[in-house]
Amino acid sequence: MSAPNFEDARTRRQMARAAGLDPNHWYAVAHTGAVRSGKVIETRFLDRSIALFRGADGVLGAIENRCAHRQLKLSLGEVDGCKLVCAYHGWAYDASGRLVSVAHETFGKSIERIRIASFPVRERYGLIWLFPGDATLAYSTAMPEIPELERPAPWASIAIDFIWAAHHSLIIENVSDFSHAHLHRKYRPFSNAKLTDLETTGTQVRLSYDVLVGDGRFSKHFVDRSLVKVDRMDLCFDYPYQRSDTGGRIKHWCFLLPMDGRTTHVYFLFYFDAVQIPLLRRPMPRGLQQLLMRAARRLLIRPLLAQDGRMVEAEQQAYDRHADVPAYELNPAVGEFQKMIVRQWRRHLTPAEAAPAEAAHEPV
């Protein structure tokens, strides 16, 4: 059997694997440096293609990736000043999606009312964020707050992203379920995890593990254990984001961009305030920390997360083959993530009826 869509799904797992993410949130869509002035790229949210460009004035625009003329992708075109110009007949759009000029005669017709959709877009934490839903809600909708990265002396950080051929629910489960230490036995980012707390309130699933954090052969020498307790980690699926906190000094966020039902762009942001010089056991100067972060990114974090990437892609293929076979799940947190994903998607699809329908339709 092929995997069912959301309407036909019978079990909670099937529903979670077919659910989208609520577009009425801010989604990370690119690193700031990926869209410099004069550049356009294509991004996607649940199959909707969006052209993201930066004008000569440095201002970002995010507009529907479809020329109003013959529906070509505008990301095939180029940025001219502050306008995005279609590659075919040179129709030019501003960042609000308004057609401002065409590069040929208009045959006596007015182009004044021609426009395409545009999306709110902003920059924070070195990332470009897009609001794919109802634009009137954008600026009253909270986005992740990371004060540690916005203070005058920000924490050392590592930003890393992947495009994985896997549904976002698989990735949420991967990053929060520590029963897969076996996969990472070479790097040992977490060992001997025991789930101690699990609680769902509102749009958050909070959980804690008693766990040994960062016990790898090299990584354990860089963490200043006089500053941070590394025997417990608190995590939160803070819909639609995920984050963790070890001792208030080692933290991360994971931002998911559901490009389509089988492809997710994942942005990780790790940041630390407890890095020491190995052997000397002295706090590491900020400049040196940032250098170390770059090395850690290449030698540890990327290969470690690539292991997860291979697994979630393999799990997606396995799910597509065996969607109707019962799966034995031991970690109760996984069920909570699935319930949250299903509940929020149903709420998005049918806002008024979501609450009463929930209890009746949640087979496990």
Question: Which residues sit at the interface with ligand FES, rule CB under 6 A?
Answer: 67, 69-70, 72, 86, 88-89, 91
Closer to ligand FES by Cβ: residue 34 or 41: 41
Q: How far is the CB of 187 from ligand FES (least distance, A)?
A: 49
Q: Which residues pair with 263 in a beta bridge?
A: 260
Q: How far is the CB of 159 from Fe ion (least distance, A)?
A: 18
Closer to ligand FES by Cβ: residue 67 or 212: 67
Closer to ligand FES by Cβ: residue 53 or 270: 53
Question: Are the CB atoms for 130 and 26 separated by under 8 Å?
Answer: yes
Binding mask 304-343 for Fe ion (x = CB under 5 A): ----x-----------------------------------
Closer to ligand FES by Cβ: residue 51 or 256: 51
Q: Name the binder of 88 from ligand FES, Fe ion, none, CB < 5-8 A by kind.
A: ligand FES
- d(Cα 44, Cα 51) in Å, to the nearest integer? 9
Q: How far is the CB of 57 from ligand FES (least distance, A)?
A: 23
Closer to ligand FES by Cβ: residue 89 or 194: 89
Q: How far is the CB of 88 from ligand FES (least distance, A)?
A: 4
Q: How far is the CB of 235 from Fe ion (least distance, A)?
A: 12
- d(Cα 308, Cα 294) in Å, to the nearest integer? 20
Q: Name the binder of 308 from ligand FES, Fe ion, none, CB < 5-8 A by kind.
A: Fe ion
Using CB under 5 A as the binding criterion, the count of chain residues that bind Fe ion stands at 1
Question: Are the CB atoms for 269 and 156 separated by under 8 Å?
Answer: no
- Which are the contacts of 346, defined by CB distance < 8 A and separation ≥ 6? 19, 354, 357, 358, 361
- d(Cα 120, Cα 128) in Å, to the nearest integer? 11
> What are 224's two structure tokens?
């200043």
Map residue 360 onto helix, strand or coil. helix
Helix residue spans in the chain (DSSP H): 12-18, 168-176, 286-296, 302-322, 332-349, 354-360
> What are 191's two structure tokens?
């060992």
> What are 188's two structure tokens?
């040992």
Q: Which residues pair with 233 in a beta bridge?
A: 209
Closer to ligand FES by Cβ: residue 111 or 183: 111
Q: How far is the CB of 116 from Fe ion (least distance, A)?
A: 40
CA distances from 37 to 42, 139, 162, 222 (A): 15, 24, 24, 38
Q: Name the binder of 91 from Fe ion, ligand FES, none, CB < 5-8 A by kind.
A: ligand FES
Q: Name the binder of 86 from Fe ion, ligand FES, none, CB < 5-8 A by kind.
A: ligand FES
- d(Cα 346, Cα 237) in Å, to the nearest integer? 18
Q: How far is the CB of 70 from ligand FES (least distance, A)?
A: 4
Residues of this chain that interact with Fe ion (CB under 5 A) are 308
